[in-house]
Chains A and B, each alone.
Chain A
Amino acid sequence: MKVGLRVFVLAGMAVSLLLALLISPLASGAPDGLEKVAEEKGFLANAADHSFSDGPLAGYSVRGVGSESFSTGLSGVMGVLLTFGVGYGLFMLVRSKSPG
């Protein structure tokens, strides 16, 4: 089975969006490896508040959306779309001038 590039990108984006929307709300909320080590070794408290902790998408939630699951999922969808847009734009600028 050989798929075209456009189909490949669309399918990949569909998978990414579904993971972000539906699976990310189910992700473990436990501290990650580094956080856990920091806690055990006594330097977790040294972490400063994030400079942008008031941002509209801070902490993988959409400000103003009541449902926690939906807020997380929606923030993920926005992140996937924005990351694709920024990445695509950047790589169009970086690309070699020779035709592909």
Chain B
Amino acid sequence: MHIPDGFINATTSLGAGLVSVGGLGFSLRRAKEFLEERRAPLAGLLAAFIFALQMLNFPVAAGTSGHFMGGLLAAVLVGPWVAVLVMAVVLAMQALLFADGGLTALGLNIMNLALIAPLVGWVVFLGVRKVLPSGRNGVVLASGVAAGVSVLAAAGGFVLQYALGGTGSAAVGTVAGAMAAVHLVIGVGEGVITALAIGAVMAVRPDLVYGASGVAWAPAPQAAMGEGL
């Protein structure tokens, strides 16, 4: 869902750019509080892993593909604020080196994929975790559900941008409906991949899963408390 230049007008792109700069600055400050030195390579690995997975488009309908986004995976693994930075690194590399996602659209893309997806997904994750039994399965299941919702939220971000400054003549309502329909399917894929990835990390190093910590907004303790069952 990388927006190219030209879909959204300059004013809205600039506005999204300002939102992104503010969001990145805030995340940078919050991330500093708990990103320990030994976790820096993990954050780098996460960015590289998400970059690789984003290349793997899978078919979702006749003549349509989708790919893994990764925002919620990042939030559950390293916390929402580091996740924002991880996603921004991936998007910047894609736009600058791979010509994927327009340069003037970088703010739009950061807003949808690096801010909305991990942060909305994180809130959903916390909510779903509350109603599920604690322990490994609860964390895995909540991750999957929240990842699916995060894709729809990012699609919603685009619809908002289109409503404010879309250059197309199609009505906002029909664009919203089409975006929701296709990203519902992509969201299912996102949920499955996220759940598998979180499950794999929980199996070998549950202490590295920030979202499995007992205290939602604090750093994960050395021994994860979500490792029950």
What is A's interface to B at a CB cutoff of 8 Å? 1-3, 5, 8-9, 12-13, 15-17, 19-20, 23-24, 27-34, 36-38, 40-43, 46-48, 50-53, 55, 57-60, 72, 75-76, 79-92, 94-96, 98-100
Contact = CB atoms under 8 A, between A and B. Distances in A.
A91 B85 contact: yes
A28 B158 CA distance: 23
B130 interface: no
A88 to B, nearest CB: 3
Given A36-B182, A48-B6, A87-B89, A27 B58 contact: yes
A81 B64 contact: no
Given A13-B45, A37-B175, 10 more contacts: A8-B42, A16-B51, A24-B55, A30-B64, A34-B2, A50-B102, A60-B100, A80-B52, A83-B47, A86-B92
23 contacts: A2-B204, A20-B51, A23-B56, A32-B67, A33-B64, A33-B183, A34-B179, A38-B7, A43-B7, A50-B100, A51-B5, A58-B99, A75-B98, A79-B97, A81-B48, A83-B93, A84-B45, A86-B92, A87-B46, A87-B47, A87-B86, A87-B89, A95-B37
Interface in B1-45: 1-7, 28, 31-45
Chain B facing A: main interface SS: helix
A37 B97 contact: no
A8 B205 contact: yes
Contacts, number: 233
A33 B48 contact: no
Nearest to B183: A33
Given A20-B55, A48-B4, A83-B93, A8 B208 contact: yes
Interface stretch (B114-122, B131-139, B140-148, B164-172): B164-172
A42 B35 contact: no
Given A8-B205, A41-B178, A34 B3 contact: yes
A93 to B, nearest CB: 9
Given A37-B182, A84-B48, A94-B28, A9 B63 contact: no
A42 B52 contact: no
B31 A47 contact: no
Contacts of A87: 43-48, 86, 89
B229 interface: no
Contacts of B43: 87-88, 91
Contact of B99 (A40, A55, A85): A55
B39 A100 contact: yes
A15 B49 contact: yes
A12 B49 contact: yes
Contact of B57 (A17, A27, A34, A92): A27
A41 B208 CA distance: 43
